[in-house]
Structure 1
Amino acid sequence: MTSTVFETPVGKAIQVGDRAPLIVLKDQNGTERRSDQLEGRPLVLFFYPKDDTPGCTMEACAFRDSHAELQALGAEVWGVSGDDGASHGRFSQRHQLPYPLLVDQGNSLRQAFGVPGALLNLLPGRVTYVIDGEGVVRHVFNNLLDGPAHAREAMAALRRLVPQA
């Protein structure tokens, strides 16, 4: 599995105003996704613990239900977890997710972003990043228990970021 990211010191969480690490990972279909090929579009990147768990399903479906609005604001949406491509494929198909799910086996991207663990580090954390078209993190939302709030937070952050016509 291709997995190339810029190194971030271990334990250093990416914050608002930081440059996001380069993202180069394959999605559920084996397509390589690269953040440096977004051509100036903002990116909503959400890390979630595991495919097909209740909270993650609610979060993924909230992003699905908001996808058209997020796209209207010019944003790409990518989900990320440590599950493999087959698991992502089943999850995406089962819930008709219109965006890619990146395969981060080994959690290299999660580590590069410094995504904190949850519940005494027993679970991978649930964190959403809104990254502007220049690659700068403009919003970070960390909430393990309220998956659907991540889509609402991303939408609000994008509305502040993108001038309305």
Structure 2
Amino acid sequence: MSLQVGDKAPDFTLPDQSGAPVTLSDRLTQKVVVLYFYPKDNTKGCTIEACSFRDSYETFTEAGAEVIGVSSDTVASHEKFAGRHELPFILLADTDKAVRKQYGATTLGVVPGRITFVIDQEGVIRHTFSAMLKFNDHVDQALSVVKELQSA
């Protein structure tokens, strides 16, 4: 079962593409976080989604948000994926799928899902969106919510 709007986002620490630990609660002290779970580095849909977040990255940062991607790929895989596509945001390696499980980011309970969460600075989930094939909708919806939070 996926987390819902209004739920407190579970805190976690995972390594980023350089191997450095990233803790969600530390990031939330600075900005709203757009946390997106995706199935696998270097697959067609995941590349389209990541590049869409990349192309809107400046707009997200100007709106006071940080984009963070999560998959079960390794640190080394994330490093190559981020480098190949010039991704300016953090990719986290959830190799044991523990964080994915905490967030309920699966499809049919078993397949790694494509789910985006917008989490405010108090750690409350303000938006969720789950769609395996609507890659760009994740970006569009998240950006809309981030802008709403900024104007509130």
Q: Which amino acid aligns with 2:127?
A: H
Alpha-carbon distance in 2 for matches of 1:84, 1:142: 23
Unaligned runs of 5+ in 2: none
Matched, 1:46 2:36: yes
Moved over 2 A (4+): none
Q: Which amino acid aligns with 1:133?
A: Q
The structural deviation recorded for 1:130 is 0.2
The structural deviation recorded for 1:146 is 1.3
Q: Pick from 4, 16, 25 the counterpart of residue 27 of structure 1.
A: 16
Alpha-carbon distance in 2 for matches of 1:72, 1:23: 25
1:96 aligned counterpart, secondary structure:
coil
Q: Which amino acid aligns with 2:125?
A: V
CA RMSD of aligned residues (A): 1.3
Percent identity reads: 44
2:140 aligned counterpart, secondary structure:
helix
1:130 aligned counterpart, secondary structure:
strand
Alpha-carbon distance in 1 for matches of 2:98, 2:5: 20
Q: What aligned pairs does 1:100-119 form with structure 2 within 5 A after superposition?
A: 100-117=90-107
Q: What aligned pairs does 1:1-165 form with structure 2 within 5 A after superposition?
A: 12-38=1-27, 39-117=29-107, 121=110, 123-163=111-151
Alpha-carbon distance in 1 for matches of 2:125, 2:150: 14
Q: Residues 3-44 of structure 1: CA distance to partner in whole angstroms, max 9, x if unpaired?
A: xxxxxxxxx321000000002111010111111212241000
The structure in which a higher percent of residues are helix is: 2
1:56 aligned counterpart, secondary structure:
helix
What is the TM-score with the length of structure 2 in the denominator? 0.95
Unaligned runs of 5+ in 1: 1-11
Q: Which amino acid aligns with 1:51?
A: D
Alpha-carbon distance in 1 for matches of 2:126, 2:54: 22
Q: Residues 116-161 of structure 1: CA distance to partner in whole angstroms, max 9, x if unpaired?
A: 225x83x310000000010000000000001121111110111111
Alpha-carbon distance in 2 for matches of 1:148, 1:109: 23
Q: Residue 40 of structure 1 contacts residue 134 of structure 1 at CA under 8 Å; is this kept in 2?
A: no
